[in-house]
Structure 1
């Protein structure tokens, strides 16, 4: 190496050393809070926590430091420590709205549902306004419910949603539905809200509206797993754990109409027809104004081919809820099978009048026309069902209407 190249190499080394020393010097001059913020942004949670611990020791009244440390504790799943941080913060500043929201989430995850409700209610009492504070996503463990928030700023809709979650855990399903309806009124495009409403409705035994809620969630997000699981459970009447709980309530003599209706639905869904009919009868005796109990008993009678009994129950359900197309469709099906074609046709026509997009109404009106030898009208109705996406109508149309 020539003397000139050696000098150039030495010069370059000195420059790099100087830059490195300058950077090190700058780093050394950062406060623990600044180092914590840097580590936080890099998602180095343990480093952030160690720096925040140092900072808070010397600055025990720094609200933002508690705010940051509480979130970092959540990320490493130290929920009790996070709870302590948010509580300390609220002692220092009872008007720190976001801290109520975050503490409520931590309390929910810890199972402290009553105190979580207090926090979410306090958050909602705070004056509305925009905030620049970030609520970092904390992914909860799988707990069988929808995700506990992924939002970037606290909002009233999420507070109502979490109030609904807490109420479900406390068994206060009516309150849960009220809270979730509030969340939906603020944001009707959130699948989680419909899913949890469906869960609350199912716990009350209101299975038809529960299924509707789950289906709305799946319209918004076809891959929403909790909605899929909820819909499947409702359609099969619930799991065996639920059945044992219902049996225990009945054995204790504290069952109400909803208890018997829900157990009846389970039995109906599992082929226990006689037990289902008995339970629905008990539900009706306790609450003769509940149309669903008549409807489900009618469906069970239909499976037993007791058409007159089924028709009587469907008629009772319709008298209580005359705007329900499912009830009219079911009575029409019962009448169709028992040979009452004119009466069945009237029911299917009324079904379509209530819901012009109900493909099954057109399909059943079509097969009724076909059985009455009114081929032209039958083909027209079947085509409408096909246009509305009913695949089952295609085969019937090809058999009845397709030209040779």
Structure 2
């Protein structure tokens, strides 16, 4: 989803107007533009207490609410509604409210607002709209209310149509947006997504690769190409990928997508996601544990041992961690260290059949056949019946 940040610049001739004394409204705009949303909230709130019929105050307060978590989207919507109740001709509010409706999945209302935005005159004030994408860092481009290029509003209309299930219309609108702005990578990435939904993988790849040709770092486009080539539950993967794109500093979506990729045997992809989760939250033992399991699947036993050890520093020495590290050590021929892990595992969980099995085969490697046979017999008694052939060979 593209985020639009509106900044007013009042231009008079060749100069920019200045004010001898700034009021709460002006200070609120300044705080908002500097990213100090808490101060902006207080300033706009104070302004509206004294000026309860100022539509621009409600418009800006709505924008501030959009920066907060929780139920703030609905508070933003209330303020946009109030702004339009006071001034139904306030064109840019329709764009903001339409974008908010998109996020709330109220697609028909979003479409209505975008159409109203296109229909209404844009006024005399030049509003510079800084457009940032969830896949980009910083400002990617700018446009103004007076811009004759309709590509951005066509793009938003396509999203609202896609949300209503009108995929052909959405693709047609995207094609129109591309006609007006042929170097906008987001347009191709979204077209690729819609073609994927229509099972038109080859056409989708063409659109996605065009997005990457324009912007090689386009995150969603890269992930969608991987989704086509690797298969799996595309809807689930797309949902997780969008969550990451929306909030890339949040480790949880990275971890959850890592789980998903691990479950689909995409171990290299899982490794990348768990590594990112660790970089964002190194105190989470689960991140280290699952990356260790991923390294084990890739038979990188050295890295697996290191990550299991790190997880054990962060949490109690749980049986699964001891089992994993013991296995990693066993495959590195660190037999005595592996044995120590399996002994500790059994002391913590005496009914762990896998613990007895792994201690048994480790003892066998150490030429302690009798002890090995006892452990394998115990593993079978605890329900590990599929090791009968191994037990027979060692015990005989």
| Higher normalized strand content (fraction of residues) | 2
TM-score when normalising by structure 1: 0.47
Relative contact order, higher structure (CA 8 A, sep 6+): 2
Rg larger for? 1
| Higher normalized helix content (fraction of residues) | 1
TM-score when normalising by structure 2: 0.48
